[in-house]
Amino acid sequence: MAAGGTTRRRTTALLGAAAVLLPLLTVASPAAAAPAAPAQAGPEKAAPIVLGHRGASGYRPEHTTASYELAVRMGADYIEPDLVPTKDGELVARHENEIGGTTDVGSRPEFANRKTTKSIDGRAVTGWFTEDFTLAELKTLRAVERLPDIRQHNTIYNGRYQVPTLQEVIDLAKRLGREQRRRVGIFPETKHPTYFRSIGLPLEGTLIATLKRNGLDHRDGRAIVQSFEPTSLRMLDKALRVPALQAISTSGAPYDTVANGRGPTFNDMVTPAGLKEISTYADWIGPEKSRVIPLKPDGSLGTPTPLVKDAHAAGLKVSPYTFRNENQFLPTDLRNGTAPGDYGQALKEYDIFYRTGIDGLFSDNPDTAIIARTEFLASR
C-alpha cells in the first residue's frame, strides 16, 4: 500500500469513534431521538453514519439550505453538496450542471437564449448549464422539486430557495453544529470533473482552497470528499488530509476511464484487486446499493454479495446509496401497494442493509435512516 495507507488506517479509527460520539436529534419520532449506542469493546462495530443525501431531499427540494438544515435537525451526521462550477468559477450545490429540472430557469425569459445542447460525459444533454451563468445570475433563480410526480408534497416549496454556494453550505453546517452542540460534517462530491477540466473550470483547486480556508482539512472526518472519477480523488488525496470516498455505479466505467482510454471499470473496482487499489487513495467506497444486495429478476431483494467483507479486508469502509422511502425506489417485496410515490417498508430495507456490516449510507430521508439505525443498534 502507498504511504497514505497508514494515515488512512488512523483516519478509519478516528471516523469510527467520531460517528459514535455524534449525538442524534430528530424531529420525526421519539424513538429516533435516542442517541446511537456506543461502540462496544472488542470487535463490535461503531454506529453506521447517516448521510443526508442532497440534504433531506425526500422532504424539501434537493441541494437547498432548507433541505440541508432539515437533514441536520433530523439527526444526519453529514450533509452532501454535489459541486458544479459557475461561469466565474464559484462552486455551487447542484446534482447536475444542467439546471432545467431543479430551478425555475425555464420560466425566465431573460435566460431563454441560454438553452443549448452539450455533450456531458459522452451523452447529449439539452438544457441550461451552471457554467453558462455567473454566480450573480444563478442567485436570481429559485429551486424547484426535481421529482414532482413522486414528491408532489415537495412542490409547495418551489420558488422559495436559492442555489447555495459551497461556502454557504459550510457556513450552515458550522452554524447548525453550534446550535445542535455536535459536529455536522460535510461530504462534497466533484461532479463531472473530467468535463469541467476540459472547459477550463476544474473543480479540485477551488474545493481544496475552500476546505483549507475553512479549517476543514483534517483527518478526523469533519469533511469527506467523494467522486466517481479516481483521477479527481487522487488530486484531492495529494493536496488534502481529509478522507475520500470512491463512488461506484452499477455498471460502465468512470468518465475519466472513458476519456483516457484506460483505467478501471466499476466492475473492476469491486474486485479484491480493485478494492486494494482504491485503498491507496481513498478510505471509503460508496457503491450503488444493489452492489451490496442485488435484486432478483422479479425485483425483490436478493442475497448479499461479498463486497462489504472484501472492502473491509482492504481497509475500506462502505456507505451505499441511495435509500428512499417511496415504493418506486424500494425492492418489489418491500413496497406497499402500487402507487410509486407511496411509502413502502423502508425501515425494513434499512435494517437488512445495516445487518450486512455497512459503515454508513446515503439517505433522502434521514429521519427514517436514524430510526432504523437506533432500532438496529438496540437489537445488537
Domain extents for the chain? 4-94+163-379
Residues 57-82: what's their mean pLDDT?
98
Per-residue model confidence as pLDDT tens digits over 141-178? 999 999 999 999 999 999 999 999 999 999 999 999 99
CB 177 within 8 A of CB 214: no
Average pLDDT of the chain is 91
Residue 194 in grid coordinates = 473530467
Name which of 178, 166, 275 is nearest 223 in CA terms: 166
**pTM for the predicted model, two decimal places:** 0.89
* 136: confidence class by pLDDT, cuts 50, 70, 90: very high
Looking at residue 199, what is its pLDDT? 98
Pairwise CA distance, residues 236 & 189, whole Å: 11
Pairwise CA distance, residues 16 & 379, whole Å: 20
Residue 169 in grid coordinates = 453550505
Looking at residue 7, what is its pLDDT? 46
pLDDT of 37 over the 60 cut: no
Per-residue model confidence as pLDDT tens digits over 288-338? 999 999 999 999 999 999 999 999 999 999 999 999 999 999 999 999 999
Looking at residue 40, what is its pLDDT? 35
Per-residue model confidence as pLDDT tens digits over 328-354? 999 999 999 999 999 999 999 999 999
CATH topology (fold) of 4-94+163-379: TIM Barrel (3.20.20)
* 8: confidence class by pLDDT, cuts 50, 70, 90: low
* 44: confidence class by pLDDT, cuts 50, 70, 90: low
Check residue 280 and give left, alpha or beta (phi > 0: left; psi -120 to 50: alpha).
alpha
Task: List phi, psi (to 5°) of 45.
Answer: -80, 155
Name which of 94, 99, 90, 98 is nearest 134 in CA terms: 90
Per-residue model confidence as pLDDT tens digits over 203-257? 999 999 999 999 999 999 999 999 999 999 999 999 999 999 999 999 999 999 9
Looking at residue 288, what is its pLDDT? 98
